[in-house]
Amino acid sequence: NAGVTQTPKFQVLKTGQSMTLQCAQDMNHEYMSWYRQDPGMGLRLIHYSVGAGITDQGEVPNGYNVSRSTTEDFPLRLLSAAPSQTSVYFCASRPGQGHLEQYFGPGTRLTVT
């Protein structure tokens, strides 16, 4: 199993550009989440999904969209990048209700200039 994979590893965007961060898992996990990690702060939840076709907002959803058309994939879209979105982004998954241990992707380091 590859586990949770994320692409790209690094990305530089100009303000106003849009892009999609990819996340895929091959463990048949129901739950998937996107987090951002900023220096000195804990991970903050952006969006999450409890199954294909079901998504919901987390703590910091503004400026981001998600969709979950398959169990495996959970892409994160930045609609119009802003310097405040410079961060490291982590995708995570877990099997489902009652199974709490999360599995993380390697992260995407995004810089918006």
Partner 1 sequence: KNEVEQSPQNLTAQEGEFITINCSYSVGISALHWLQQHPGGGIVSLFMLSSGKKKHGRLIATINIQEKHSSLHITASHPRDSAVYICAVYMDSNYQLIWGAGTKLIIKP
**Footprint of partner 1 on this chain (CB under 8 A)?**
40-45, 88, 90, 92, 97, 100-104, 106-107, 109
Give the CA distances from residue 12 to residues 33, 62, 76, 105, in Å, rounded to whole numbers and listed in that order. 22, 20, 16, 19
Q: Which is nearer to partner 1, 50 or 82 (CB)?
A: 50
Distance (Å, whole) CA 58 – CA 87: 16
CB 16, min distance to partner 1, A: 27
Q: Which is nearer to partner 1, 63 or 107 (CB)?
A: 107
CB 2, min distance to partner 1, A: 14
Q: Which of 90, 109, 110 is nearest to 13 (CA)?
A: 110
